[in-house]
């Protein structure tokens, strides 16, 4: 289901180097203002309670027909099936989004630049008709074996958007939740369950870009988890976090020489919240 990585060593090396560089670059930019010093553009802040908590006991997973384009999964008439897109496509989208964001940050007239980029994206479908700042997270989640069915940048670059903060709603297997929470922690975004699905959301659109970079960096760990997942015909039941830790420990972290099972965020078995509305923080005037 997940596309294969490039076979050429040079392509694989380039993707690894780029993902590592992007992750380090974004971790150094926790402020809300632009990371380009000369920019007059200021990123929008969306106040929300950042929760990282997943109930793995009753996660929903779509049947094959539900996840196909045109079915309207999650009551989304614009739903698209990205399950066959590979990691290299997620990396391409991340690079494209970074390029667009940098254009906006360096522009003397950011609003005009946003409108010009919006027209370009509409005419060319460079980001698969997904919102700027969200596209790479959607495709990276798909490459990680998840099924995103709704996403929105909440108007981070202008225009009307229905959501209150940048977010991606998706279905995920229980055994991937430990890695997903680790990516959410690394990117400093929220990641929680709601009505049997997961929602990744951020106070700043750049958090979703960090999330995409973090997913790409851990692509081998996601592959190891999927290879160890029980197949049809094996004992039924919910796959616990312990199973995930065991699968990751067998693969190991080659870069650091330590087990991937250590120092991981906990996956809770208790319910968290019922709706996205509970994440909203009332705006306070200064």
Q: How is the chain split into domains, by residue range?
A: 18-28+50-173+189-217
CA–chain centroid gap for 1, Å, is 18
Q: Which pTM value belongs to this model?
A: 0.71
157 CB-near residues (< 8 Å, 6+ apart): 104, 114, 117, 118, 132, 133, 205
pLDDT on residue 20: 53
DSSP-based three-state secondary structure for 286: coil
pLDDT on residue 31: 33
Largest distance between two CA atoms of the chain: 61
* Residue 192 near residue 199, CB atoms below 8 Å: yes
Mind listing the pLDDT tens digit for each residue in 54-77? 999 989 998 878 888 777 788 888
Name the band, by pLDDT with cuts 50, 70 and 90, for residue 230.
Answer: low
């Amino acid at each position: 289901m997940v596309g294969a990585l490039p076979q050429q060593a040079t392509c694989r090396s380039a993707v690894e180097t780029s993902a590592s560089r992007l992750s380090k670059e974004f971790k150094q930019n926790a402020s809300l203002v632009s990371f380009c010093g000369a920019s007059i553009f200021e990123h929008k802040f969306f106040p929300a309670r950042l929760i990282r908590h997943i109930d793995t006991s009753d996660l929903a997973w779509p049947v094959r027909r539900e996840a196909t384009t045109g079915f309207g999964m999650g009551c989304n008439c614009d739903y698209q099936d990205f399950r066959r897109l590979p990691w290299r496509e997620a990396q391409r989208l991340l690079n494209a989004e970074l390029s667009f964001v940098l254009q906006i940050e360096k522009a003397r007239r950011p609003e005009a630049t946003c409108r010009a980029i919006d027209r370009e994206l509409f005419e060319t479908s460079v980001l698969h008709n997904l919102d700027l700042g969200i596209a790479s997270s959607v495709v990276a989640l798909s490459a990680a074996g998840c099924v995103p069915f709704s996403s929105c940048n909440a108007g981070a670059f202008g225009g009307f958007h229905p959501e209150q903060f940048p977010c991606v709603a998706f279905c995920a297997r229980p055994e991937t939740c430990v890695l997903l929470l680790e990516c959410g922690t690394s990117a400093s975004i929220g990641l929680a369950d709601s009505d049997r699905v997961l929602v990744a959301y951020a106070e700043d659109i750049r958090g979703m870009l960090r999330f995409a970079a973090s997913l790409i960096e851990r692509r081998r760990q996601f592959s190891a988890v999927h290879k160890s997942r029980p197949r049809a015909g094996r004992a039924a039941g919910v796959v616990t976090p312990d199973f995930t830790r065991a699968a990751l420990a067998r693969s190991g972290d080659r870069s650091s020489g330590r087990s991937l099972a250590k120092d991981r965020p906990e996956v809770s078995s208790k319910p968290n919240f019922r709706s996205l509305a509970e994440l909203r923080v009332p705006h306070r005037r200064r």
